[in-house]
Chains A and B, each alone.
Chain A
Amino acid sequence: MSMTVLTVDDSRTMREMLRLALTDVGYRVVQAEDGVHGLEVLAHETPDVIVTDINMPRMDGFGFIEEVRSDPEHRRIPILVLTTESDAEKKNRARMAGATGWIVKPFNPVKLVDAIRRVAA
Chain B
Amino acid sequence: MDPLESIKETFFQECEEQLAELETGLLAMEEGDTDPETINAVFRAVHSIKGGAGAFSLEALIRFAHVFETAMDETRSGRLAASNEVVKIMLRAADVLADLVRAARDGGSVDEALTAALTEELKTLGPDGADEAGGEEDWGDFEFKPATVELDLPPAPTGWRVRFKPRADLYAKANEAAILLRELTRLGPAEIELDARELPALSDLDPEAAHLAWTVTLSGEADEAAIREVFEFVDGDCELEVTPIGGAAETAETTEDNGETFDIGALLAQVQADAAPQPAAAPEIPTTSPAAPAPAAAPSPDTSSPPDGQASARKPEAGATIRVDLERVDRLIDLVGELVINQAMLSQRVMEAGFARASGVAMGLDELEQLTREIQDSVMAIRAQPVKSVFQRMPRLVREVAAMTGKPVRLVTEGEGTEVDKTVIERLADPLTHMIRNAIDHGLENPDRRAEAGKAAEGVVRLSAAHRSGRIVIEVADDGGGINRERVKSIAVERGLIAADAPLSDEEIDNLIFMPGFSTASEVSDISGRGVGMDVVKRSIQALGGRINISSRPGKGSTFTMSLPLTLAVLDGMVVDVAGQTLVAPITAIVETLLPKASEVNSLGGNARVISIRGGYVPLIDVGLALGYRAEPLPPGQGVALLIEGEGGARAALLVDAIQGQRQVVIKSLEANYRQVPGVAAATILGDGRVALILDIDTIVAVSRGTETLRAAS
Contacts and interface: CB of A to CB of B under 8 A. Distances in A.
A105 B270 contact: no
A108 B281 contact: yes
Contacts of A56: 44
Interface stretch (B173-181, B405-413, B465-473, B476-484): B173-181
B417 interface: no
A13 B13 CA distance: 9
Interface residues of A, number: 59
A75 B175 CA distance: 11
Contact of A110 (B47, B296, B302, B305): B296
Contacts of A104: 270, 273-274
A80 to B, nearest CB: 8
A86 B138 CA distance: 8
A71 interface: no
B223 to A, nearest CB: 16
Interface in A53-93: 55-58, 69, 75-79, 84-89, 92
Contacts of B262: 88
Given A20-B3, A88-B142, A121 B179 contact: yes
A12 B294 contact: no
B139 interface: yes
B55 A106 contact: yes
A114 B522 CA distance: 66
Contacts of B178: 121
Contacts of B259: 92
B343 to A, nearest CB: 40
B183 A117 contact: yes
Given A98-B173, A108-B296, A118 B138 contact: no
B464 interface: no
A85 B13 CA distance: 24
Nearest to B273: A104
A77 B176 CA distance: 10
B283 A111 contact: yes
Contacts of A115: 233
B141 interface: yes
Interface stretch (B4-12, B150-158, B505-513, B657-665): B4-12
Interface of B: 3-4, 6-7, 10-11, 13-14, 37, 40-41, 43-44, 47-48, 50-52, 54-55, 57, 137-142, 172-176, 178-180, 183, 230, 232-233, 236, 259-260, 262, 270, 273-274, 276-279, 281, 283-285, 291, 293-300, 302-305, 312-316
27 contacts: A10-B48, A12-B13, A13-B11, A14-B48, A16-B7, A20-B7, A21-B279, A23-B303, A24-B298, A31-B312, A34-B316, A36-B316, A37-B313, A76-B174, A78-B176, A84-B50, A86-B139, A88-B139, A88-B260, A95-B236, A100-B173, A104-B274, A106-B57, A107-B55, A108-B283, A109-B296, A110-B293
Given A16-B305, A37-B314, A114-B293, 20 more contacts: A12-B14, A20-B7, A21-B294, A23-B304, A24-B294, A37-B313, A55-B44, A55-B48, A56-B44, A86-B274, A87-B137, A88-B140, A88-B142, A95-B236, A101-B233, A107-B55, A108-B276, A110-B285, A112-B294, A115-B233
Which 7 residue pairs spanning A and B have beta carbons closest together?
A101-B233, A106-B54, A13-B11, A13-B52, A110-B283, A88-B142, A78-B174
